[in-house]
Structure 1
Amino acid sequence: MLSRHFFQEDLAFVPNHRLRYLGLSVACLGIAFILGIIGLYLMPESVTHWTKQKFGLMSWLENVHLGPVFDNDLFIFNWVLHPYFGAIYFMQARMAGYKFFTGVLFTALVSTFFWEYGLEAFVEVPSIQDLICTPTLGPLVGEIFYHTSQRLQQPSKMPKFFVGCALFFLDFIGFSIQKLGFAKACGICNKNAIYQENTPKC
């Protein structure tokens, strides 16, 4: 007779392969970046301050050469969305199992080279505010997100729907990886999980 072991979904996710989890996060971030740049490109120019007629490789080269400069973006972009997405970048390293300062380095690399001097530079000159606030404020917000997500994933009486929505807000990349089967498909398991005796481990 099998002992009473079971898979506990409420336990905090700790991947058994840190680098593999982080690589999967980077792939998901790349997809999110492409979708994000398309969404921003479709927004009115009065909001993004992007010139849609000027888009492409030559535009990227020119923008990289001209930058960085102080931008005139709306407050919500510079001081709300950039710190929030910096926190999302930071969460990928922390959820993979890396320490705080590794998360800070990861955030700086992603925000600077993947986004500011990467995709966004196709349509906009790199921004001084974004280069500063994303890798600095992002990890500070991200560390709060990280500890909050760890607490939410412990057994509690809170409604599952509320917990799920909160976890999605705190780390929509990690939520997708863990809850939609991407981790399992890549052979990544939760080390905190308890399996039935006849369930093979990754």
Structure 2
Amino acid sequence: MARVSQEHLDARRRQILDGAARCFARNGFHATSMADVLTEVGLSAGAVYRYFRGKDELIAAIAAEAFAGIRGAFEEASQSTPPPSPDVLLGAVMRIFLEERIPGGDSRAFARLIIQVWSETLRDEHLFQTLAAGYDGMREAWASLVEAYRANGLMRADVPADHVARTMIAIAQGFIAQQALFGNVEVRVIEDGLRALMSMETQSRS
């Protein structure tokens, strides 16, 4: 029997994850069965279960991959001189996360999937650990960016880097929640809003 190449295995795993993400985004996590996923990806049960034992493993893999991709984008940005401003960076990452994650997909549906993933962490310890690790990685990535901003004279130094990191993550989470609940929120909205807030000048009180 011919050996299956790693490239083939990786491509098959990618096919399964993309198909599952489309299903979950379209119909919701609980309303989607593994049979739905099999139909979506056009593979046999044996082919899919070789990689994932069920929906919980699929959703955890989707979440972990998303965090890894976003953290990578932030870490790459921190190496630029000067690094892109928060409005530009967050806008770029949100486009990748919401608009490009499911080719031709519905960004509002995918935002709703993210909200479902968050709620699943309340009952699924493994998924909680996956998201907690991703959140900690995001904090570290943003903290590195803060240090890069300061090294380039772009940000004041009297606020802890982790406070800035948590705030930027909260902005992204809030944007995703708005998209999930109300839709019709273009990424440029968050870019414009951040740019306006960044332009404010604080006046010292007498």
TM-score, length-normalised on structure 2?
A: 0.33
Which structure ranks higher in relative contact order (CA pairs < 8 Å, sequence separation ≥ 6)?
1
Q: TM-score, normalised by structure 1?
A: 0.34
The structure with the largest helix share of the pair is 2
